[in-house]
Amino acid sequence: MTNIIIYGVLGKMGKALLEAANENGEIKVVGGVDKFADDLNKTAFPFPVYKSLKEFDSKIKAEVVIDFSRPDALDDILEFCLKNNCGAVLATTGYSEIQNEQILSASKNIAVFQSYNMSLGVNLLSNLINQAAKFLGDDFDVEIIEKHHNQKVDAPSGTALLLADSVSKAYSCGKTHIYDRHSKTGKREKNEIGISSVRGGNIVGEHEVMFIGKDETITFTHRATSKEIFITGALRAAVYIKDKKRGKYNMNSLTGN
């Protein structure tokens, strides 16, 4: 059994994560954190829910904290995990460079699983486009289009950046990410990967990676129709790092790629 704390337990992803965890025979939720915890009927959950991990009693023995909330929760999570020798599954996007350095530093003492996308399908897509880039080379331009619901606050999506990095790794000199062409004059350069964002409605998540050559275009597409795919990946990640003492892990670690 893996004992977890859900960070952002009152949010959409937190509630979905709780529901899935309750149906998973390998997971037990022992606590929750949410910024609206003070407004909560404390009897609504069979475990304590607080505004911060600092409020947790030392009697709560959690092995992994799973976070789908927001980047500004990172300090609270890492402080708790380092103090209690607890693993962290970070499924939040939008971290700054400084925050990513904090995560890397923490992983030298605890197990940290970080992924811009917890979907196994996206991980497969990432590997496929890396192979495609190696095969097609510089004869094809690469463009990425990502689409999400109108409540998403960061752009481009973390998944789009993950996919762009997968393409870049196929080239010895890497590629330059171009996020906005309206202020850029001049023809498209060979070392560019264009990334475009669409926000609207309730799109869960769609990503297209296009390899555009002379007279032909090859398109790889992943569409998420439910948040369940991210929840499943996060729970598998929690079980995976439960007994890991330290280190930084991702979906490739989980799938053995």
Q: Could you read off the pLDDT of 130-171 as tens digits, one per residue? A: 999 999 999 999 999 999 999 888 889 989 999 999 999 999
Catalytic residue among 148, 207, 222, 227: 148
Buried b vs exposed e over 154-190: b needs ≥16 C-beta within 10 Å?
A: eebbbbbbbbbbbbbebbeeebebbeeeeeeeeeeee
Catalytic option among 28, 51, 152, 244: 152
Could you tell me which CATH class the domain 120-224 is placed in? alpha beta
| pLDDT value at residue 153 | 85
Q: Can you list the pairs that 32-36 forms with residues at least 24 positions away whose Cβ atoms lie under 8 Å?
A: 32/5, 32/6, 32/7, 33/5, 33/6, 33/7, 33/8, 33/9, 33/73, 33/76, 34/7, 34/8, 34/9, 34/10, 34/69, 36/10
Report which residue type is found at 90.
Answer: L
The CATH topology of domain 2-114+228-255 is Rossmann fold (3.40.50)
Question: For the residues 172-191, what does the mean pLDDT come to?
Answer: 85
Assess whether 148 carries a catalytic annotation. yes
Q: How many helices (H) and strands (E) does the chain have?
A: 7, 12
Calpha distance 161→165 (Å, rounded): 6
Residue extent(s) of CATH 3.40.50.720 domains in the chain: 2-114+228-255
Ranges in the chain annotated CATH 3.30.360.10:
120-224
pLDDT in tens, 35-78: 988 877 767 889 999 999 999 987 788 999 999 999 999 999 99
Catalytic annotation present for 59: no
Give pLDDT tens digits for 21-38. 999 989 999 999 999 888
Whether the predicted model's global pTM rises above the 0.85 cut: no
